[in-house]
Amino acid sequence: MWELCGRSEDPFLNKEQFFTGLYSLDSEPEQAETSEASLALAASRNQRYKRIVRRSSRLQVASSNSTTKISSTALESIRSTSIQAFTKNISTAAPEPVVSENNINMADSTPDISAVTTAPSTAPASLECTPRHLPPPESSRILPVHTKVAKRKRTPVVPAKKQIFGGMYFYFIPNDIKNPVRKFRVQKADEHGGFCLKEWREQDITHIIVDSKLKYSDVLKSLRREFIPDHIAIVNDTYISDCLAFARILNHDQFQYKVAGQPSTTENSFLLPQPHSPPLSSTPSETPLCDQQSSSATTQSLHIRPQLSKRANDTPSSAAGDRPTDSQLAVEAELKASVTTDDLVSQQLAAELLSTPGPSTTQECEVKDELDIMIAEAVRMGDLPLDDDISAPDDGGTSSDEEPIRAVKRKKPVARTGNSKWQDKFQCMHANDGKQQEGNPNARTIEILSEMQKYYEMTKDQWRSISYRKGISVLRKQTKKICTAAEARKLPMIGESLAKKIEEIVETDRLRKLEYAQLEPGDVALKLFLGVYGVGPSVAARWVQSGYKTLDDVVKNVRLTASQKVGIDHYQDFASRIPRDEVKRHGDIVMSTAANLDSQLQLQIMGSYRRGSKDCGDIDIMITKPGVSAQEISGLLDELIERLFEIGFAMCGLAMSRGRDDGSKWHGASKLLDVPTWRRIDLLVVPWDERGAALLYFTGNDIFNRSMRLLASKKGYGLNQRGLFKDILRGPQRQKLNDGTKVAGDSEEEIFEILGVPYRKPEERIC
DNA sequence: TGGCGGTACTG
DNA sequence: CAGTACC
DNA sequence: GCCA
């Protein structure tokens, strides 16, 4: 049945077969790493891994325009270090024809063109032939003519000598481009000279590209055949990208391209989930993955919404469960009615009245494979232009950050002090309200470079990522389209490399490097892991290297810190953006709670909210009190937090001041009663005379802060969240030798002025 | 070639 | 201490 | 990645 072909699938769960044979000592499970020795081992392994990745990614860059030999070895080393020990049992996925599952999961992503135009009648029976080695008519391609790629001039995109698929005819199964990644593969194949057929033309077809979730039997079923002719190679969907990565036609007989259940001519032991050689007694990839796989097969069609609330309650660290929640209602009610209800009675009353919502765990509907959805989502976002990302925390001037409130495009009469040139390179010297986004002539360039930036954001190079951000920021401010490398080169923060990329983007409307990058399966997992609160580049890379692919793998095999547990349990929560008005509501609750504690407290919502974003990654609240120093504030935060827990607003703490009673910060999660989603919330208590510096710091964005601080240090100052300091002496490695003397801290304006930076309203601090 | 912000909490 | 977090 |  044709419907079979429409099964939803996640191509990024399918690379596992890849290097099944490469079990090595490196692939020991994470949980074994408890002793000092093994920790050290892990560390060194990690280092090596990073080095290799870094080195090879450089090579890739270097060779991207000419040589390909180098990059292939580079890729090889990446793969062999990062993707190993994956043994997933592909074959358990029961291919029951769940009709148009696709439409549930992917409906909003890719308009399904080909499925409509492709007749179900393309069964193998119709064997009328077009002569071999003639390009098929456009109509028989899987890519619709009006697809971007087809519209684009075909030839110049990929140079002739890279048309490695010349003369090859591909038939994809499923034979559509619903799935963005498959669509991407089809495009790639097409651009490199291959013909992707949407009809079964037995005599022409040289390769069948099978989605890795499908078995050989699915292939037969889908084609309504008993067997596949010998002249047609059957490979899984990693084949295309591998050929591209290695820039040549690879041997399709290699085991890693086999389709599960395929009657192999040579050997087929690899088809089994390798029960024989677990590297250690409890192989992480074995049971969990199989388990996950099978359940994936059964539940995938069921769940629609990726609620991740399942584990919310059994997390030990979440104090939510046993809290007398819902008195938060009292607070909100109080806010609405502006009545002072301070006593417990009214709170209990309110709690009784409205104790309905079983907190946080909204549905128990067995959400097994949120991860599938998340990964698919991540993939989809990676593929679609103009996403507002999962990974970018909040700021960044990335698409979504801006607030329409901006009305005036202020032309600032910058009072510039004498020294003109060098400090112009500091982002903080230029207003940037990010408002230019719409109608910006460089929009497409920015969009693609942003993808690159996001890509590098994870682990590869934080500095590279930052450089991209700076370059993008500069580009965003241009009023004219930057078309050539030379033109781009003149702009600040845009060097050779970025300039060349800009030119490539303008000319070809794409960036090859990015497209290859997006297919790397390890990177998908990396991105996934990096999204967990408490997991950074180091841990994420370690997890990837250990062979973990999903959060479930991690949960089952790794000892997590408390924060990481929360981070995983509320992965979705923390990944989602918070609408501005919800931020406000959170702020109001904290404010009124604080007001009950001490009426003189002043609270302000900071972060991207203060910068005017229409949605935020988290909630930042600064608390201060007129005329009060650090001493007197000490106990205050604790009390406030306690109250917030009591009213069921605070759900858990993630990081709080310890030791010193000077403690001034609290990171945690909070929740409104009528919104199930936990939100990240940061509280910062600051002494009155540091409020200016704190304001500056807590408003950001981070690039702006870095820029200000760097500028300060170049001028002999030191800037931090507590103040601006003078006479900072810096040692050899720019180490601070003294604390200097505070020259400002009360007000933002003062700090701007001393540093010679024209004052910038919060909305203009988006770099 | 080495620098790229400055600080605070976690384990 | 390294890792992660905050802006 | 960019810059000094």
pLDDT, position A588: 98
Instruction: Judge if the beta carbon of A46 is closer than 7 A to nucleic acid strand C.
Output: yes
Among A235, A257, A279, give the residue marking a domain's end: A257
**Is the domain of A637 the same as that of A659?**
yes
Nucleotide with smallest C1' distance to residue A542 CA: C3
d(CA A576, CA A619) in angstroms, rounded, equals 12
Phi, psi torsion values for A264, nearest 5 degrees: -70, 145
A422 versus A504: the higher-pLDDT residue is A504
CA of A345 to C1' of B2 (A): 64
- The CATH number of residue A729's host domain is 3.30.210.10
Q: Tell me whether residue A310 is in a domain.
A: no
**Is the domain of A677 the same as that of A732?**
no
Whether residue A370 has pLDDT greater than 70: no
Instruction: Judge if the beta carbon of A702 is closer than 7 A to nucleic acid strand C.
Output: yes
**Is the domain of A447 the same as that of A509?**
yes
Return the top range by mean pLDDT from A227-241, A335-349, A682-696: A682-696
Q: Tell me whether residue A527 is in a domain.
A: yes
Q: Does the bond joining A137 to the residue before it have cis omega, within 30 degrees of 0?
A: no
In this prediction, residue A753 has a pLDDT band, given cuts at 50, 70 and 90, of very high
Measuring alpha carbon to C1', the residue closest to nucleotide D4 is A422
CA of A41 to C1' of C2 (A): 15
Measuring alpha carbon to C1', the residue closest to nucleotide B11 is A561
**pLDDT tens digits, one per residue of A615-647:** 999 999 999 999 998 878 878 899 999 999 999
**pLDDT tens digits, one per residue of A265-282:** 443 332 222 322 222 233
A249 versus A392: the higher-pLDDT residue is A249
Among A655, A688, A721, give the residue marking a domain's end: A688
In this prediction, residue A210 has a pLDDT band, given cuts at 50, 70 and 90, of confident
pLDDT, position A640: 95
Among A537, A558, A573, give the residue marking a domain's end: A573
The first and second tokens of residue A384, run together, are 């679609």
Kindly report the average pLDDT of chain A as a whole number. Answer: 65
Q: Tell me whether residue A611 is in a domain.
A: yes
Contact predicate A560/A568, CB 8 Å: yes
**Is the domain of A478 the same as that of A543?**
no
Q: Strand B footprint at Cβ < 7 Å?
A: A 463, 466-467, 561-563, 653, 655-660, 663-665, 697, 702, 705-706, 709-710, 712-713, 718-722, 733-734, 736
Nucleotide with smallest C1' distance to residue A498 CA: D1
**Is the domain of A713 the same as that of A675?**
no
Q: Tell me whether residue A125 is in a domain.
A: no
Indicate whether this model's pTM tops 0.85. no
The per-residue DSSP string of A381-399 comes to HHHSTT---SS--S-TT-G
Contact predicate A196/A176, CB 8 Å: no
**pLDDT tens digits, one per residue of A310-344:** 333 333 333 333 333 456 665 655 565 443 333 22
**Which nucleotides on strand B sit less than 7 A from a protein beta carbon?**
3-11
**Is the domain of A627 the same as that of A537?**
no
**Is the domain of A561 the same as that of A615?**
no
pLDDT, position A140: 62
CA of A20 to C1' of D3 (A): 45
Q: Tell me whether residue A327 is in a domain.
A: no
Instruction: Judge if the beta carbon of A385 is closer than 7 A to nucleic acid strand C.
Output: no
In this prediction, residue A79 has a pLDDT band, given cuts at 50, 70 and 90, of very low
Q: Has A480 been annotated as catalytic?
A: no
The strand order across the sheet containing A207-210 reads A195-197, A169-173, A207-210, A233-236
Q: Tell me whether residue A37 is in a domain.
A: no
- The CATH number of residue A665's host domain is 3.30.460.10
**Is the domain of A450 the same as that of A481?**
yes
| Residue of A454, A460, A501, A527 with catalytic role | A501
Pairing relationship of beta strands A619-624 and A602-605 according to DSSP bridges? antiparallel
Average pLDDT over residues A207-219: 80
Measuring alpha carbon to C1', the residue closest to nucleotide B9 is A655
pLDDT, position A93: 29
Contacts of A225 (CB under 8 A, 6+ apart): A124
Q: What is the phi-psi region of residue A344: left when phi exceeds 0, alpha when psi lies from -120 to 50, beta otherwise?
A: alpha
Instruction: Judge if the beta carbon of A497 is closer than 7 A to nucleic acid strand D.
Output: yes
Whether residue A223 has pLDDT greater than 70: yes
**Is the domain of A513 the same as that of A531?**
no
**Is the domain of A759 the same as that of A666?**
no
**pLDDT tens digits, one per residue of A396-420:** 333 333 333 232 223 233 333 334 5
Look at A193-207, A643-657, A750-764 and tell me which has the smallest mean pLDDT: A193-207
d(CA A671, CA A664) in angstroms, rounded, equals 22
pLDDT, position A157: 54
- The CATH number of residue A253's host domain is 3.40.50.10190
**pLDDT tens digits, one per residue of A707-745:** 999 999 999 999 999 999 998 777 766 777 777 899 999
- The CATH number of residue A466's host domain is 1.10.150.110
Q: Tell me whether residue A582 is in a domain.
A: yes
pLDDT, position A53: 32
Taking the alpha carbons of A555, A556, A557, A558 in that order, is the dihedral positive or negative?
Answer: positive
The per-residue DSSP string of A182-238 comes to HHHHHHHHHHTT-EEESS--TTT--EEEE-TTSBHHHHHHHHT-S---TTSEEEETH
Nucleotide with smallest C1' distance to residue A708 CA: B5
Give the number of domains in chain A. Answer: 5
Measuring alpha carbon to C1', the residue closest to nucleotide B5 is A706
- The CATH number of residue A549's host domain is 1.10.150.20
**Is the domain of A682 the same as that of A580?**
yes
pLDDT, position A111: 29
CA of A701 to C1' of B4 (A): 17
Measuring alpha carbon to C1', the residue closest to nucleotide B8 is A657
Query: In which domain, by residue range, is A582 found?
Result: 576-688
pLDDT, position A24: 25
CA of A343 to C1' of C7 (A): 37
**Is the domain of A499 the same as that of A453?**
yes
Q: Tell me whether residue A101 is in a domain.
A: no
